[in-house]
Amino acid sequence: MNVCSKCETELHGDDLLDGCPNCGSKLFKFVNTKAIEEKKRREKEEQEKMEDSSPEEDITIDENSVESIKVEDKGVYEVNLLHILEGETDVYSDKEGNYAIDINALFKKSRKDEDEEEN
Amino acid sequence: MSFFDFLINLFKRNKKVSIGLYGHPNSGKTTLANQIAKDWTGKDIGSASNIPHETRTVLKQEKIVIKDGENELDFDIIDTPGIATKIDYQNFLEFGLEEDEAKERAKEATKGIIEAIKWLDDVTGVLLVVDATTDPLTQTNITIIGNLEARNIPFIVVANKIDMEDANPNRIVSVFPQHTVVPVSALNGEKTDELYKVMFKKFN
């Protein structure tokens, strides 16, 4: 379909010869409406897909893995809820596979466990 | 009444009831906490906003007494940061936050999640706040419910935001048929009376 390149009015029949019925311009361009509709449809589909998938599905952390918190990047964290609910928050990892262990907290915990056993 | 019964009653009376509000970020925990506090004490607990992870530290309001005829429930309310499995600062940028500010918010939110979960050791009851406009069947909700059951902590599933057009509290009821689900709108106080009635039964 042809449209006026100045005011985007759709042109029909003899408009191409007479000029734009709206602004009189004789500069026109061809637009592929089908392709535009298809592009819009695809964009909409993608957006819907994004909305459907909750951020939880992107998690790469494994429930059985050793870390409680994985630092993907500065400001991007993944939390192993099961670990933390069981009281373990002492191992941290980054996406390159580096791990940090809070040894102090581990010792405190083992002391606590021993105390509980004694009692 | 034996001396032993007397002692048990004494402890029962002095047993502190602490009710924690748990749930996803932006499910309306702080709004509900404010509504309860406003209804019974006249003041707010914390500030709520539409940016996720607005509450990043545990907020506590001591001694709220709710009454219904002869029933009375005396408790502390503990409003916790939203629990999520992934915190990405980029999600905050669309709310107009600067990058550094958003990254700091993500860090604090992660710390908040750990703090919220640690508080589970100290609560005697939980209101699990679920946004009725979203799918309730999430890993977070399932994990929290499983853990509450394992710890024997009584809880009520609060289907919040029923004032919204696309709210579907029945979906929450059908997903958690074995649990008590109460639909409310924390924002305008709709059906909170129902919630208080259930709280008397569950937490007393």
- Asked if residue B132 lies in contact with residue B183, where contact means CB atoms within 8 angstroms, the answer is yes
- B152 has a pLDDT exceeding 80: yes
H or E stretch at B74? strand B71-79
Which residue type does B124 have? T
Tell me the whole-structure pTM to 2 decimals.
0.73
Confidence (pLDDT) at B55: 83
Q: Per-residue confidence at B21, pLDDT binned at 50, 70, 90?
A: very high
CA diameter of chain B: 66
Which of B86, B144, B147 shows the shortest C-beta gap to A56? B86
H or E stretch at A43? helix A33-52
Q: Which CATH code for domain B16-203?
A: 3.40.50.300
Contact at CB, A89 and B114, closer than 8 angstroms: yes
Helix intervals (H) in chain B: 3-14, 29-40, 90-93, 99-118, 139-151, 169-175, 192-203
Confidence (pLDDT) at A36: 78
**Is the model more confident about B128 or about B58?**
B128
Number of other residues whose CB lies within 10 A of the CB of residue B173: 17
- Asked if residue B63 lies in contact with residue B76, where contact means CB atoms within 8 angstroms, the answer is yes
- Asked if residue A99 lies in contact with residue A67, where contact means CB atoms within 8 angstroms, the answer is yes
Burial of B93 (0-12, 13-18, 19+ CB in 10 A): middle
**pLDDT per position as a tens digit, A27-65:** 888 877 777 787 888 888 877 766 655 555 567 777 677
The first and second tokens of residue B10, run together, are 């004494």
Contact at CB, A76 and B107, closer than 8 angstroms: no
Confidence (pLDDT) at B12: 56
Residues B114-118: what's their mean pLDDT?
88
Q: Domain boundaries in chain A?
A: 2-53, 57-118
Confidence (pLDDT) at A109: 63
DSSP annotation of B125 reads: E
- B19 has a pLDDT exceeding 70: yes
Complex prediction ipTM:
0.70
| CB contact B63 to A (< 8 Å) | no
Report B:136-155 residues touching A (Cβ under 8 A): 138-140, 143-144, 147
Q: Per-residue confidence at B56, pLDDT binned at 50, 70, 90?
A: confident
- Asked if residue A94 lies in contact with residue A70, where contact means CB atoms within 8 angstroms, the answer is yes
